[in-house]
Structure 1
Amino acid sequence: MTSFVVQRNGQAATAEELAPLAFAGYAHFTAMQVRGGQIRGLDLHLERLRSASKELFDQALPDDRVRSYLRTAVEAGPADLSLTATVYSPAGEFTVAGADAEPEVLVRTGPAASGPQGPLALATVAYERVLPAVKHVGEVAKTYFLRQAAGQGFDDAAFVDRRGRLSEGSIWNLAFWDGTAVVWPDAEMLGGTTMGIVRRQLDRLGVPQRVQEVTLADLPALAGGVVMNSWTPGVAVHRIGSVSLPEAPNFLELLHQAYQAEPLTSP
């Protein structure tokens, strides 16, 4: 029998083990979609966990051990599922973890997801995440600004930094199209694994790409925009703040084509 699981270090997690984590917020994670028991961009997920662990805990678990925890969870569930791997220190919050406080891994699986249909309208919010390069937990601002945006009639929020640059969405990376090339915003942000997959596959396909600062004033000159995350390589965005973006079905198709070109890997 297969089922969705919550596992700690490859074993079923108990309520006693989970209780302190329910009230903690010093951890990092990666989220992925599993299809046919395999994962796209597994190397990017492992690199994310490795680099974030070194940043937060001054050490990282070996990749083969992390893969074994992922594999145990995947094998316990259906062929298609969502998986979140969270790395935390048993020393907990508000402590100076010693070298012997080796990080531990909590893995949770659930139903497969593919994201919203779109197109989306994004409210603009002046906000910069702490440790933007780390996918860490306890970010109340992301849900808060999503709820604020929904209350204003938008679907979600896009963040603008102190220099007026668009950086990312609440749980999304942003990407734009100028008619011939993909434009990635230049700002402090979390580099998404789906973003990494798409970028390297666009390179393989010979599609021009560039990184540049993008402000609200730059949007009228662009030919389309999307958001992407572990759910999907592209959901169309038709408005950011008060600025409309044109439909760009070819751009959307190109991003999905690039994502599908990434090989699936068993954990």
Structure 2
Amino acid sequence: MELKNHSFDTSSTTRPQSADAGRDRGLRVSEYGAAQGCGFWRARSWSARNLPSRSKRRALPDDRVRDLLRAAVRTGPADLSLTATVYTSAGEFTAADAEPEVLVRTGPAAYGPAGPLALAVVPYERVLPEVKHVGEVAKTYHLRRAVEGGFDDAAFVDRLGRLSEATIWNLAFWDGTSVVWPRAEMLAGTTMGIVRRQLDRLGIPQRVQPIRPGDLPELAGAAVMNSWTPSVPVRGIGSAAFPEAPAFHELLHRAYEAEPLVAP
């Protein structure tokens, strides 16, 4: 189905559930036509509009985007992944006042790899890490190099030696009593936002601190998360191995499931 300037792809092709699948992960919509953390998704879209030289006159109204998302939900399967990409038909290298368009795509609900994953440590800092954007070939490059080296995916360290995030994931750690989040420049994922909010409501201790590869042996568990899932167990980062931490992963899932469903 295609509307003016807005395409909907309801392909039912199943994507492989590996760490390399679904690079353009989207909002996961339940059989009730609702999803968790819609407010985080909208807040993140507004953060991109505040970039220098970005014309506010050309910003897409939230109501317009939400109408398109709802139309896609109505025409898609009961459980689905929903992805909205803002672009210009003139291409990437255009003036800031180019007219934006929206591509909304639906696909099968995706839940990510089961894990546990082994992550290579890669020195890399994303451009504009706090902004969700496309064209990040480096993430795919580093993931594939990691797989060639016998790992499942890659985790990034910045110029200060701090772990920040993984290719398409946020990182979370466990010290036995508290959830520990890395302090570094990164994309604050929507699932990460949901989990942190609900951990607070559940009264679970959490903190943010610099984490370097040398600190990893002191930790009792590790996980990655994104819009697929609030927790994929990580068995190792670089040369550091982590014990199984079922209580930690169950806690992350419990926090995520506590977030209420909201219509897009």
Q: Does the TM-score normalized on the shorter chain lie above 0.5? A: yes
Matched, 1:223 2:220: yes
1:48 to 44, 65, 72: 44
Deviations 1:76-105 (A, max 9, x none): 10110111111123453222233xx34221
The residue number in structure 2 matching 1:24 is none
Give, as a single letter, the amino acid of the residue that structure 2 aligns with 1:114. Answer: Y
Q: Against the structure 1 CA distance between its residues 80 and 9, is the aligned structure 2 distance closer, same or farther, given a 3 Å change threshold?
A: farther
Maintained 8 Å contact 1:176/1:223: yes
TM-superposed CA distance for 1:7, in Å, is 6.4
The residue number in structure 2 matching 1:157 is 154
CA distance in 2, matches of 1:144, 1:244: 24
TM-score, with structure 2 as normaliser = 0.88
The residue number in structure 2 matching 1:33 is 28
CA distance in 2, matches of 1:6, 1:116: 32
1:1-267 correspondence runs (5 A): 10=6, 12=8, 31-36=26-31, 37-55=33-51, 57-59=54-56, 60-98=59-97, 101-267=98-264
Deviation larger for 69-78 or 87-96: 87-96
Give, as a single letter, the amino acid of the residue that structure 2 aligns with 1:116. Answer: P
Deviations 1:158-202 (A, max 9, x none): 001111100000000000011111100000100000000000010
Does the residue aligned with 1:259 lie in a helix, a strand or coil? Answer: helix
Deviation larger for 153-162 or 45-54: 45-54
Structure 1 stretches lacking a partner, 5+ long: 14-28
Deviation larger for 211-220 or 59-68: 59-68
TM-superposed CA distance for 1:31, in Å, is 2.1
Does the residue aligned with 2:66 lie in a helix, a strand or coil? Answer: helix
CA distance in 1, matches of 2:50, 2:99: 11
Does the residue aligned with 2:235 lie in a helix, a strand or coil? Answer: strand
CA distance in 1, matches of 2:243, 2:220: 6
CA distance in 1, matches of 2:3, 2:37: 22
Does the residue aligned with 2:165 lie in a helix, a strand or coil? Answer: strand
TM-superposed CA distance for 1:236, in Å, is 0.5
Does the residue aligned with 1:247 lie in a helix, a strand or coil? Answer: coil
CA distance in 1, matches of 2:222, 2:167: 16
The residue number in structure 2 matching 1:26 is none
Structure 2 stretches lacking a partner, 5+ long: 10-23
Deviation larger for 240-249 or 53-62: 53-62
TM-superposed CA distance for 1:46, in Å, is 1.0
The residue number in structure 2 matching 1:17 is none
TM-superposed CA distance for 1:142, in Å, is 0.7
Maintained 8 Å contact 1:177/1:225: yes
Does the residue aligned with 2:168 lie in a helix, a strand or coil? Answer: coil
Maintained 8 Å contact 1:160/1:167: yes
CA distance in 2, matches of 1:118, 1:30: 18
TM-superposed CA distance for 1:12, in Å, is 4.8
Q: Give the alignment's Cα RMSD to 1 decimal.
A: 1.8
Aligned residues: 246
Does the residue aligned with 1:55 lie in a helix, a strand or coil? Answer: coil
Q: Against the structure 1 CA distance between its residues 238 and 92, is the aligned structure 2 distance closer, same or farther, given a 3 Å change threshold?
A: same
Identity of aligned residues (%): 67
CA distance in 1, matches of 2:4, 2:219: 46
